[in-house]
A = this chain, B = another copy of it.
């Protein structure tokens, strides 16, 4: 793997205190790279960024229609949710329609990401359960697919289960990359995660956002899932979180989804583009700043919606301004070039 460049700098006083290296690809649905910084060919684990693609078999199998799932339930199947009331209700709704129980969720347990939800549990003297896991909606969707297909739901999270094999096939087809066991890791919630080059990930996000390069049931499934997410941005993440803020403010102009270890992807349906970011060190601080900077050039209104993130102001416990997160000169210049490229291609394209 080649050395990735510094994309984000963290300033304190007059010095760069910390820095984040990484790679980013911006592609169209045909896989043409509009921007490549760093290594966009070595596979990286996309983690939760590809939950919408992991949810496709839920629709393609016919399970979603058979169980009468609505957009709320489809959005939660694609979510890394904060564990607030609305999230739990959506997961429970999905489970109930498919005749499933919370105890069947194999995602493991963590405290809700939502501080408010965690505090409510603590005040009530309760502990979290699997439904509070940010991936519980994805797991509910996988379980629903399994029962609809009359497969044994036990073990649905294992690599050899037909539900996971289906997901591997879907990812492989949309990304245009053969995937085998060597590309597999086990995710925080125990399902497989398959490593994919950033260029392929960006291409897949261009495809699922615009429908270009997809056909038939696959195209319909992508449109339905992305629309469901964009229509319920609070369900896909939670209050104050990047994906919720971005999609709530930008409507159908962006579908954005983060993953663990510094991965973040986005679809820009109107432009037919996809973006995929991976920060080498795995920090969200780096990934979100890169994506915010690129969106601010590519998507009208994103500069306002993501303003506090673009400012990157660091305040301390007393509220004093002590530093700033900022794009590196390389990222800054690349973002500006990308914006010009977009404008000139829009000007020259036939109407």
- Which A residues contact B (CB, under 8 angstroms)? 1, 3, 10, 12-21, 43-45, 106-110, 119, 122-123, 125, 133, 182-190, 193, 195, 261-262, 279-283, 286, 316-320, 322-323
- Note all chain B residues with C-beta closer than 8 A to A182: 14
Copies of this chain, tallied across the complex:
2
Contacts A122-B122, A281-B281; A317 near B17 (Cβ below 8 A): no
CB proximity of A28 to chain B, nearest CB, Å: 27
* Additional A-B contacts beyond A17-B185, A281-B281, A281-B283 (10; CB < 8 A): A12-B45, A13-B185, A15-B195, A17-B45, A17-B282, A20-B281, A133-B317, A186-B316, A187-B316, A281-B286
Check A322/B186 contact, CB under 8 A, given A43-B15, A108-B316, A195-B15: yes
CB–CB A18/B317 < 8 A: no
Tell whether, in the assembled complex, residue B320 and residue A13 are in contact, meaning their CB atoms are under 8 Å apart. Answer: no
A319 and chain B: residue at smallest CB distance: B108
**Is chain A's binding surface mostly helix, strand, loop or mixed?**
loop
By a CB distance below 8 angstroms, the chain B residues around A16 are 1
Q: List chain B residues, Cβ under 8 A from A107.
A: 317-318
A15 touches B323 (CB 8 A): no
Q: Is B19 a contact of A44 with CB atoms below 8 Å? A: no
Bound Cα distance A125, B187 (Å): 36
Q: Which of B110, B183, B279, B318 contacts A317 (CB 8 A)?
A: B110
Contact residues in B for A187 (Cβ distance below 8 Å):
316, 322
Nearest chain B CB to A347 CB, angstrom units = 39
For A262, list chain B residues within 8 Å (CB): 18
Query: Which 9 residue pairs of A and B lie closest in terms of their CB atoms, listed nearest first?
Result: A108-B317, A13-B185, A18-B282, A281-B281, A108-B318, A12-B185, A186-B322, A122-B122, A188-B316
A21 / chain B contacts, CB cutoff of 8 Å:
21, 280-281
With a cutoff of 8 Å between Cβ atoms, the chain B residues found around residue A189 in the complex are: 316-318
Q: Which residue of B lies closest to A44 (CB)?
A: B17
Report Cα–Cα, A185/B14, bound state, in Å. 7
B281 engages A19 (CB within 8 Å): yes
B residues near A281, Cβ cutoff 8 Å:
18-21, 279-281, 283, 286
